[in-house]
Structure 1
Amino acid sequence: MHTVSLYSTLATKDQMNRFFLAVFLLLLVTKISGQEKEKRKHLDSIQINLKRSLDSILKNTTNDLNIIVLKQKLKEITPKKPKKEHIGWKDKANFTLLFNQSVFNFDWQGGGTSNVAGNATLNYEFNYKKNSLTWDNKIIADYGLTFLKDEDFARKTNDRIEFNTRLGQKIGQGFWNYSLFINFRSQFDKGYRFTKNPDSEETIRIEETHFFSPAFIQVGPGLLWKKSDNLNVNIAPVTSRMIFVDKEFTNVTDYEDGDYFGVDAGESSRFEFGGSLAAYSKYTIIKNITLEQLLNLYSNYIEDPANVDIDYTLSINLLVNKYITGSFVFQAIYDDNATGGFQIREVIGLGLKYKF
């Protein structure tokens, strides 16, 4: 009897608990439903007042103007969709062909020599990104010639082939990355020094450089600060550099060690160990005009570390339309292994541009 009474008491308590729980849930749902109704009622009131205000303002202007203003306002307040981060390979290429011409007739008294010049440039980038890993690659090919009236030989205005590859691993959530870079630079064609024969006034050219003479290869780990593809700085305090040349330029009579790009007599290469910095920026000045800057610094720890090699390039590009472009390029190079002063180059022209 006592056992049956105990079971009956427990069952009654369990039913009471369920009853109170059901009442509590019912009251909670009712309260939430009431709050939602009040919220909807409040929003409906705001919507009605806003519509009345707009009606009172818009009734005094034309429908065409109202549509323009409302579309513009809707565009302003519509939240922008976040850009989806690209994962995997991404490439782009630009080919530019610039022309320059000056012509003077026989009766022109102001002086000058008729000439025509052309410059072709190819920039190709193929980059990889996945999570915190980036791998950036860039090929630059640049070649230009100018033809002067009554001259036997064309002269180069530019000759450059360069390959850059850089691996980056992001550090935390900031802009810093661990990095490893490789840089290769050389030229396509032979380079000459031009002189005049004092007796016949004939132009004489002497070969000074050609493909892979010189050639520069730099390799080094470091730290990369990369805010975007258009603004980054790579610092590599431990960088090795190899300079390769043709022995025919170091085996000449009376050659002194280091005269040809720092290479000793009878040798075809030179090893340097130092630190480097590479900085890149690109931004829009005004619509259709961009300014691009590239700075490379290198210090050889083994020999004259305070004597820093400098390679600075400034490019201003004007996009006339999809295919026509104007370009101004300024480049300054200081390398005491090549010459004792700054090497300066300027190119300005109008030409064709094609993206693919």
Structure 2
Amino acid sequence: MIRIVKILFFLLFVSGVNAQIKDSVEVKIPIDTISLVQSIDSTFLVAKDYTANDAVLDSLQSDSLQTPKMLYIERALLDSLLRPYYNIHIDSTKSNAYGRDIMITPKYRMVIDNYSGDTSYIPLPNKVDYFSKMKTYGIDTIGFSNAIELVSIKRTKRAADPVWWDHKNVIGFDLNQVSFVNWNSGGQNSVSGLFKVEFARVYEKLYTLWKNQVSARYGLNNQQNLGLIKTDDEIRLSSSFGYRKDTLSNWYFSAQFNFKTQFTDGFKDAESEDPISRFFAPAYLHLGIGSQYNVKEKLFSIYVSPLTLKSTYVFDEKLSNEGAFGVEPGERSRHELGILVRTKWEKEIFKNVAMENDLELYSDYINDFGNIDVEWILNFQFKINKVFQASFRTHLIYDNDIKIKETNEAGEVETLGARVQLKQQLGLGIIYNF
């Protein structure tokens, strides 16, 4: 009798499998378990497909009929039993020894009242992940058939920093040449050259104005049958420092320093052997304090110093003994205290025609006050292109301490009074700014 019951139970089981071939779940539950629902928490549910033929073949085996080890339940029945109380998650991408992974987690937590002993079920809160897993990305190695060339990238500033320094660097060379061939009016072949440099640094920031300048000029002329003679020789150093009380004023409390001398010996003409000037003979030094009016936009400035020390140095023994350049015979220097006025104006009067006007006036308080020493330089520059430039320059000097010496008919050297000194130069050459 028991054997017949087992066969009927197995046939019912096989018919259930055939009705749900593709959507069944396997529940590993011992046969002697009393309640399916009570033990479902400890089961492993795995999807597994069976065919009717396999079930029939298994039913013919006596061992499987005597002790069946697996119980099959339809998935719809399982969902109806578990869904109200459990969260069921089936992952088809993962599998274990029984097939697809099924994760079952309870929806409620049982709570027992301490006084009454009653039980109740409280919904469990949803799981919240406060920390997300860090994602990692990889990149495959990329190969290039052609070599990669390195290039330089020029950075462009969106907002430029304020520029407090202004630079000026100029190097120029002028060349003049005159030659004659069977020229009826006569004349001598000559070649002259002039080398000039100028470096300036100007610092201007709010209340402070600091100007520095170094310039030098040296020119030679070579005439037929006369040899070389110097046409220009000058070294100048200047520095001025000014301070103003506010940014609206153009007046600065200022102090200035100026120095001037020459490179080589100077002669009256090409036939003379005795130099009339040498390096540091003379040399002029101005040092004073005062006030400066500066208008940057118009390139104009005027400096007035009521207290200026002027020093004249003659470091050549022969010229010192002769009392040249206003020093006492045998002395190497002469010092004066007076008032100095210096102006400078730069302006483009026409297109590609620039003018530069420097004027300096000085009068000594002690020695013959009111007698004014004058130095005036007027320079015109005619720009041809970026490289070539023509220039016309005049240099006027009047110094009461510089006396003119001439030889009379008897061959004696006579010392005459001071005279106006004038030098004019016209040249065409190249100029380089950097």
Same fold (TM over 0.5): yes
Residue 349 (str. 1) matches residue 413 (str. 2): no
Q: Return the match for 2:175 from 99, 111, 117.
A: 99
Q: Give 1:219's match in structure 2, choosing from 287, 298, 310.
A: 287
1:150 aligns with 2:225: yes
Unaligned stretches of 5+ in structure 2?
1-158, 404-417
- Please list the CA deviations of residues 277-331 of structure 1 after superposition, one character each: whole Å capped at 9, or x if unmatched: 1100011111111011000111111101111110001111011111000000011
Does the Cα contact within 8 Å between 1:247 and 1:267 map onto a contact in 2?
Answer: no
**Structure possessing the higher radius of gyration over alpha carbons:** 2
Q: CA offset at residue 250 of structure 1?
A: 4.4
How many matched pairs? Answer: 260
Matches for 1:1-356 after TM superposition, within 5 Å: 86-105=162-181, 107-152=182-227, 154-172=228-246, 173-194=248-269, 203-228=271-296, 230-250=299-319, 252=321, 255=322, 259-339=323-403, 340-356=418-434
Q: Per the alignment, do residues 84 and 301 of structure 1 end up closer, same or farther by CA in structure 2, a change over 3 Å counting? A: farther
Q: Structure 2: how far apart are the matches of 1:98 and 1:251?
A: 34
**Relative contact order (C-alpha < 8 Å, sep 6+): which is higher?**
1
Check conservation: 1:250, 1:263, Cα contact below 8 A. Answer: no
Match of 1:32 in 2: none
Query: Could you tell me how far apart the structure 2 residues matched to 1:312 and 1:335 are?
Result: 12
Kept after mapping to 2: 8 A contact 1:250/1:260: yes
After TM superposition, which residue ranges in structure 1, 4 or more long, deviate above 2 angstroms? 83-90, 249-252
Is 2:314–2:333's contact at 8 Å kept on the other side of the alignment?
A: yes
SS state of the match for residue 317, structure 2?
Answer: helix
SS of the residue 2:257 aligns to: strand
Q: Could you tell me the TM-score, scaled by structure 1's length?
A: 0.70
For the 8 Å contact 1:250–1:264, the answer to whether it is kept is: no
Contact 1:94/1:123 (8 A) holds in 2:
yes
State the 1:267 CA deviation: 0.8
Whether the aligned pair in 1 keeps the contact of 2:320 and 2:327 (CA below 8 Å) is: no
Give distance in 1, aligned partners of 2:186 and 2:315.
41
1:204-247 deviation line (CA, Å, top 9, x unaligned):
33211111111111100001000117200000010001111024
Asked whether the 8 Å contact 1:194–1:206 carries over to 2, the reply is no
CA RMSD of aligned residues (A): 1.8
Q: Unpaired runs of 5+ in structure 1?
A: 1-82, 196-202
Deviations 1:99-153 (Å, cap 9, x if unpaired)? 1111112x2121221101001111110121222101100111011111110113x
CA distance in 1 between counterparts of 2:161 and 2:312 reads: 39
Instruction: Give the C-alpha shift of residue 87 in structure 1.
Output: 4.2
Partners in 2 of 1:251 and 1:175 — Cα distance?
Answer: 43
Amino acid at match of 1:348: L
Superposed CA offset, 1:235-265 (max 9, x none): 001000111102413454xx4xxx4111011
- What's the TM-score, normalizing by structure 2? 0.58
Partners of 2:283 and 2:171 in 1: CA distance: 24
Contact in 1 for aligned 2:314/2:320 (Cα 8 Å):
no
Q: Conserved in 2, the CA contact under 8 Å of 1:179 and 1:222? A: yes
SS of 2:357's equivalent? strand
